[in-house]
Amino acid sequence: MNDDRRKVLKGTGGMAVMGLAASAGLFVPGSAWAQAWNKAAFETKSLADTVKAMGGTGATESKDVVITSPDIAENGAVVPFTIASRLPKTESIALLVEKNPNVLAASFNIPQGTEAGVTTRVKMGQTSNVTALVKADGKFYYTTKEVKVTLGGCGG
């Protein structure tokens, strides 16, 4: 049964479905291509360096940027984070982990007209301040939260 399905997808049937989806505006060819990777930003060692590498001159602390995460992470290999921005015209959201070798752990472009929020998991080697950095209307804003990483879930 799986072989039959594969044959259909490989054949003209799969192409016809893709063509119909594109003509209906459900699939725009080329729209899924990733943006250029900002290598310099991912090599930074501080918030100020990251802002500069992302094209800014400074960042302002804001209560309109919210980090949701556990206060104590039992497994530093997969620490969950949700970041939301209530700032109008949010363009991007980034997550920085102060004590990681490279502070920028993740960066997301936010398409215009969409809800400005992301959820991800990052690796943290040790207890550290975590910063959510938001670019909105050409300016940078941030908020910071400490996340404790325990060894083996023992509260250490």
Q: What is the pLDDT of residues 13-55, one digit of tens each?
A: 555 555 555 555 554 555 445 556 788 888 999 999 999 999 9
pLDDT of residue 49: 93
Instruction: Provide the phi-psi class of 55: left if phi over 0, else alpha when psi is between -120 and 50, else beta.
Output: left
Q: Mean pLDDT lowest for which of 3-7, 77-81, 97-101?
A: 3-7
Query: Does pTM top 0.85 for this prediction?
Result: no
CB 9 within 8 A of CB 95: no
Q: Mean pLDDT lowest for which of 31-45, 84-98, 139-153?
A: 31-45
Q: Is the pLDDT of residue 138 over 90?
A: yes
Domains of the chain: which residue ranges?
1-33, 39-149
Average pLDDT of the segment spanning 116-126:
94
Q: Using DSSP, how many helices (H) and how many strands (E) does the chain show?
A: 4, 9
pLDDT of residue 40: 87
Q: How far is CA 63 from the centre of its chain?
A: 19
Average pLDDT of the segment spanning 84-98:
96
Average pLDDT, the chain: 83
Q: Is the pLDDT of residue 93 over 90?
A: yes
Which architecture, in CATH terms, is 39-149?
Sandwich (2.60)
